[in-house]
Each structure stands twice: as structure tokens, then as C-alpha cells.
């Protein structure tokens, strides 16, 4: 697909993955409209971190996914929509499940309705590997059962099924992409890798929950590239597609690897309050990315250690703001 001059909407544009995706799309010549949630500080999230020429080229709109009129106006005039906007925190979803459902389910419904009315050529709906729950078999392919092991994952399952229904009932050209554990610069301080690195850089004990669960990590540039390829692929409409590396590492081994990269000693303190409820913990995630390779021609290009080094250096240069974020972080 030639992105030059193509008008694109990205919901959740100011977020971790969204801001990287926006940068890639602009570099390819797309005219990008970014939807960010309004806040009283007037900030646009990580969009401020983009190069000045990229930032100046953006059309930024503020609004809430839960407002149907906002979505109709945001989608109007666009050809392609990337839907990344979501309430993403699993711990927060335990405390406020109603908000998780309102944003992730009702918000996605508003996106689908707006895309249907506007006649967009492709909607890329961003799901998550959390919909699978803990692996019943590995590697996890797209036929693996879904399990609502947290209010967050349940809300994303519902959103995925709405997307499927709009493809089947209304012939909406929607692709559901399921990234496994994306990491890299700009990730939230609450996420595992930033939490470990920031605590390590701060010289404190690394406070974590369970050390045995395994995760399948993909560098953010690779995830963003997969989203773009999902928008381009002709045979992808109506499909659910995993974006993962096909490799897994336990939380404990991850800490050891980051410590080796940093040259620092890691002392881990396990805290019960950081452990998920027993039936809610996802013990194992390991992707089968064969469908992404086949349909999208996608595969991860950034090796895990290389990506961790890039992430470590970026966080070291932004340590003050991340230390503040972790100090304020409750949920």
C-alpha cells in the first residue's frame, strides 16, 4: 500500500504503541489524525516525544471513545483506522471493571459504528494476548480458546467479538491483531520491563509479584510494523492475527537478563500485593506467529537483548519522570 497522502485515524495515538505507530505512518507519507483522551493539562501523551517535524504534521483531536459523536467526527474523511485506544491496566480493571467495559467494549462499538458509517477501507482493531488467558497449549495460535481471567481481558474478548460481528454482519473490513507483550521506549511505568529497569537504575530492591509466569516479548517497532502490515494485507479482513516473537522468558529470568545488561546486581523482593488473584494469573504466554508470517509477511526483526538494551538506554535518559511515575503509582 502506498501511504503517501492517505488519511489515517489512530485512536490511542498518545499512548505507548500508538505514538510509535503514528511516527511510522507519518514517515511513510500518511496524513495522520490522532485521537487522544482529553485531560485538564492539555497534554497529548507521548506524541510530544516525536520529532518536531513529525509532531507538527499531525492533526490531533481530543475526545473520549465512549462518546459516539466524537468517534463519528474523528473517523469522518479517513480511509484507514487503527484502533488502539483502550483502558489497558489489568490491576485497575480489578478495581474498576465498569470503566474497563465502558471504554473497551462500548468505546470499540462506537469505533465500529463510525467506521461502518464512513465506509472506511480497513479498520485494524488492536486486541491483546491476554484474551487467551494462561496457555492451555503452546505455542498459542489463533484457534486457542479465549478466557476472561481479568475484567480487562473479558472486556477485550467482548470487543474482539464485536469486531468479528461487524465483519460478518456488515462486511466491515476489520482485522483483529493480537500483540503479545510489547515493550520498548515510552511504555507505561506500571509495565513489567520499565518497572524492573527503573527500580534497578534507582538502586533499590526490585519489588515484584510472581517470578514464574512466562511472557512472549516483542519490541514496539515490530508491533507497529505488524499493525501497518495488517492494514495493507488483502487477505486479512475478518481474521484474528497474533503478533509475537515465538519465544518465552520467565519473570525471574527476565530480571537476571536486565541486570546483566545493566551491569548491576539485582535483589528481588516479592510482594504479595503485586501477585494477581490465583485464578486470574496468566502463567504462560507463548505465541504461534505462523499466520502473521503467512498473511502479513511479518516477523520480528529486533532481537530481545537488542531491544532490551535500547529500552534500558532510553529509560536511563528519562529516569526522573519514570521514578516520579512509579512513586505515584498505586494500582
Beta strand 214-215 pairing with 249-250:
antiparallel
Strand, coil or helix: 178: strand
| Exposure class string for 125-140: b at 16+ Cβ within 10 A, else e | bbbbbbbbbbbeeebb
**Contact present, 111 and 165 (Cβ < 8 Å):** no
324 Cβ contact list (under 8 Å, min separation 6): none
pTM of the predicted model, to two decimals? 0.95
**Contact present, 86 and 41 (Cβ < 8 Å):** no
The x, y and z cell numbers of residue 100, run together, are: 474497563
Match 483483529 to its residue by C-alpha cell: 176
- Residue 139, preceding bond cis, omega within 30 degrees? yes
Query: What distance separates the 2 farthest-apart alpha carbons in the chain?
Result: 56
How many residues are present in the chain?
331
Element (H, E) at 104: none
84: nearest Cα among 145, 16, 143:
16
149: nearest Cα among 193, 103, 213, 85:
213
* Residues linked to residue 206 through DSSP beta bridges, in sequence order: 268
Strand, coil or helix: 206: strand
Match 465512549 to its residue by C-alpha cell: 66
257: nearest Cα among 308, 298, 206:
308
Question: Which CATH code of 3.30.420.40, 3.40.50.720, 3.40.50.10260, 3.30.413.10 fits the domain covering 7-328?
Answer: 3.40.50.720
Per-residue pLDDT of the chain (331 residues; tens, 9 = 90+): 899 999 999 999 999 999 999 999 999 999 999 999 987 676 899 999 999 999 999 999 999 999 999 999 999 999 999 999 999 989 999 999 999 999 999 999 999 999 999 999 999 999 999 999 999 999 999 999 999 999 999 999 999 999 999 999 999 999 999 999 999 999 998 899 999 999 999 886 888 888 899 999 999 999 999 999 999 999 999 999 999 999 999 999 999 999 999 998 888 887 776 666 878 788 999 999 999 999 999 999 999 999 999 999 999 999 988 877 776 654 4
Give the residue numbers marked as catalytic: 152
Dihedral sign computed on CA atoms, order 280, 327, 190, 316 = negative
The x, y and z cell numbers of residue 199, run together, are: 527500580
Alpha carbons 201 and 188: distance in angstroms, whole number: 16
Element (H, E) at 266: none
Cα distance between the two ends of the chain: 41
Spans of all domains in the chain:
7-328
* Residue 210, pLDDT score: 86
Amino acid at each position: 500500500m502506498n501511504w503517501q497522502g492517505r488519511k489515517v485515524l489512530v485512536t490511542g495515538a498518545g499512548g505507548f504503541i500508538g505514538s510509535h505507530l503514528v511516527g511510522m505512518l507519518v514517515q511513510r507519507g500518511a496524513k495522520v489524525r490522532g485521537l487522544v483522551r482529553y485531560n485538564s493539562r492539555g497534554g497529548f501523551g507521548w506524541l510530544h516525544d516525536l520529532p518536531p517535524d513529525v509532531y507538527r504534521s499531525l492533526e490531533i483531536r481530543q475526545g473520549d471513545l465512549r462518546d459516539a459523536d466524537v468517534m463519528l467526527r474523528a473517523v469522518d474523511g479517513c480511509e484507514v483506522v487503527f484502533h488502539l485506544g483502550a483502558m489497558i491496566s489489568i490491576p485497575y480493571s480489578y478495581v474498576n471493571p465498569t470503566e474497563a467495559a465502558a471504554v473497551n467494549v462500548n468505546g470499540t462499538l462506537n469505533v465500529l459504528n463510525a467506521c461502518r458509517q464512513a465506509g472506511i477501507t480497513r479498520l485494524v482493531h488492536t486486541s491483546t494476548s491476554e484474551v487467551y488467558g494462561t496457555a492451555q497449549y503452546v505455542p498459542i495460535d489463533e484457534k486457542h480458546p479465549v478466557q476472561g481471567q481479568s475484567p480487562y481481558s473479558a472486556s477485550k474478548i467482548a470487543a474482539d467479538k464485536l469486531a468479528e460481528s461487524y465483519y460478518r454482519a456488515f462486511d466491515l473490513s476489520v482485522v483483529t491483531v493480537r500483540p503479545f507483550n510489547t515493550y520498548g521506549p515510552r511504555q507505561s511505568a506500571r509495565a513489567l520491563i520499565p518497572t524492573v529497569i527503573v527500580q534497578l537504575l534507582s538502586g533499590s530492591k526490585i519489588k515484584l509479584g510472581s517470578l514464574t509466569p512466562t511472557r512472549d516479548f516483542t519490541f514496539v517497532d515490530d508491533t507497529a510494523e505488524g499493525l501497518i502490515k495488517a492494514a495493507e494485507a488483502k487477505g486479512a479482513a475478518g481474521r484474528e492475527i497474533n503478533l509475537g516473537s515465538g519465544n518465552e522468558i520467565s519473570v525471574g529470568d527476565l530480571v537476571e537478563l536486565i541486570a546483566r545488561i545493566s551491569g548491576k546486581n539485582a535483589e528481588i523482593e516479592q510482594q504479595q500485593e503485586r501477585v494477581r488473584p490465583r485464578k486470574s494469573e496468566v502463567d504462560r504466554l507463548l505465541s504461534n506467529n505462523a499466520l502473521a508470517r503467512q498473511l502479513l509477511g511479518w516477523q520480528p526483526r529486533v532481537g530481545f537483548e537488542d531491544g532490551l538494551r535500547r529500552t534500558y538506554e532510553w529509560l536511563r535518559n528519562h529516569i526522573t519522570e519514570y521514578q516520579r511515575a512509579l512513586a505515584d503509582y498505586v494500582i
